[in-house]
């Protein structure tokens, strides 16, 4: 018993092969337009900070820096002993 003609099967197989994608995966370097070697973006300096110490902005920055140092700066931050959170039974 024959279910289909051999020519019909061959035509269906050829049609399915023709419909398959031959270009490979969608996102490749070639299709994405990326350069072959990664180049980091150029650093753009948007504005420079004035440090003259004479203008109003510099005086205000200096004032806020003094306030910060007086209230929030911890002089012992880097010299504190390291606290280890481990069991004393580890030494056994």
Report if residue 25 sits inside a domain. Answer: no
Report if residue 92 sits inside a domain. Answer: no
Higher pLDDT, 87 or 28: 87
Residues 6 or more apart in contact with residue 50 via CB below 8 angstroms: 57, 58
- Which tokens belong to 45? 């300096």
Domain containing 56 equals: 50-74
Report if residue 44 sits inside a domain. Answer: no
Report if residue 3 sits inside a domain. Answer: no
Report if residue 84 sits inside a domain. Answer: no
pLDDT of residue 79: 81
**Cβ proximity of 52 and 58 under 8 Å:** yes
Convert the pLDDT of each residue in 26-83 to its tens digit.
655 555 565 566 677 777 767 777 889 899 999 999 999 999 988 888 878 778 787 7
Report if residue 57 sits inside a domain. Answer: yes
- Which tokens belong to 22? 């031959």
The structural domain count of the chain equals: 1
């Amino acid at each position: 018993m024959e279910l289909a003609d051999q020519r019909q099967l061959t035509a269906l197989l050829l049609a399915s092969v023709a419909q398959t994608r031959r270009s490979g995966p969608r996102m490749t370097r070639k299709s994405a337009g990326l350069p072959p070697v990664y180049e980091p973006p150029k650093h753009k300096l948007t504005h420079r900070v004035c440090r003259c110490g004479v203008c109003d902005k510099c005086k205000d920055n200096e004032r806020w820096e003094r306030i910060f140092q007086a209230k929030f700066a911890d002089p012992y931050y880097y010299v504190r002993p390291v606290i280890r959170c481990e069991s004393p039974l580890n030494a056994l």
